[in-house]
Amino acid sequence: MTAPLRLGTRGSALAMAQSGHVAEALTAATGRPVELVEVVTAGDRSTAPVQRLGVGVFVSALRDALTAGEIDFAVHSYKDLPTAAAPGLHVAAVPPRQDPRDALVATNGRTLAELPPGARVGTGALRRIAQLHALGMQLEVSPIRGNVDTRLGRVLGPDADLDAVVLARAGLNRIGRADVITETLDPMLMLPAPAQGALAVECRADDQDVIELLALLDHAPSRAAITAERALLATLEAGCSAPVAAYAVLAEGEPTDEGDVNQEIYLRGAVISPDGTRDLRLSRTGTPADAAEIGKALAAELLELGADSILGQDAQAGPGTQQLGSTE
């Protein structure tokens, strides 16, 4: 019998659910059995804010296991990956992206507009904190850490101390908790993090057999959108604590003279000061083949408008050192 492929994953409920979906899809597409191998990362062992833990805190242990040959491939929340490529490793597949929008879970089924001034809202991302402040609703926004269930307990549990939390809708979907969402936030109000809702399936660059198997899971439209968003992030050279947002969608463009309809990629990007007082937002369109160049060009426009002054010291982290925090 063919030996099972070893899939490395973090041990949280969300990470296990994500990896389980990928394992099932790979087995269905190839017939190869897959076993999950839990790998504990530095981010799992710490309760400190993500921006204090350093770059790659949720992925470095998985990458070490890959390099050492302890696992055959790994599944990451794509937004946890530094933008620089890891030597000797290759992202062989980007499966179809889940809904990248943020979601509100509030007491009494309330929407964001129904929260009164002074309402206590928890989130783990400075990007969300900055955009909540930018709304001018006088919310009391608190940084929080923990897995999805821990965060939901801050609103729905017996010891709840918050009026609402903001989480990635994709994460709630993947663990079967979408029923607790009281509002899915419009990207016009809350632009997602680059690569939010997407997974990166990574293996060794010299393992051609595994690369060919994983390629069957790759979804070209999702990869193009992620490429544009992460090119923007990389060009901004934003540190892990920077409130940077980006969201790319693919749509049908204008018909050609031959009657064909080409696809276009529409990218929105934003850099927001943590207190919400400065909010730069721009958009750009192009073809999926030019996804990386679209992201770079939009970042350059944001920098021309003063994004670097908002990013401040985070811009000194250097290329390839970006991380916005865990999907959870």
- Active-site residues, by number, are 80
Alpha-carbon span 18 to 23, nearest angstrom: 9
**In the numeric block, which tokens belong to residue 25?**
């899809």
**Residues 328 and 171: beta-carbon distance below 8 Å:** yes
Q: At what angle do helices 220-236 and 291-304 cross, to 10 degrees?
A: 30
* DSSP-derived pairing of the beta strands 5-9 and 73-77: parallel
Alpha-carbon span 298 to 289, nearest angstrom: 16
**Residues 55 and 323: beta-carbon distance below 8 Å:** yes
Q: Which residues contact 206 (CB under 8 A, 6 or more apart)?
A: 88
Alpha-carbon span 57 to 42, nearest angstrom: 6
Cα–Cα nearest to 96, from 37, 173, 166, 16: 173
**In the numeric block, which tokens belong to residue 182?**
């009281």
Alpha-carbon span 131 to 243, nearest angstrom: 8
**Residues 135 and 129: beta-carbon distance below 8 Å:** no
Q: At what angle do helices 13-30 and 148-156 cross, to 10 degrees?
A: 130
**Residues 73 and 201: beta-carbon distance below 8 Å:** yes
Element (H, E) at 249: strand 244-255
Q: Which residues contact 304 (CB under 8 A, 6 or more apart)?
A: none
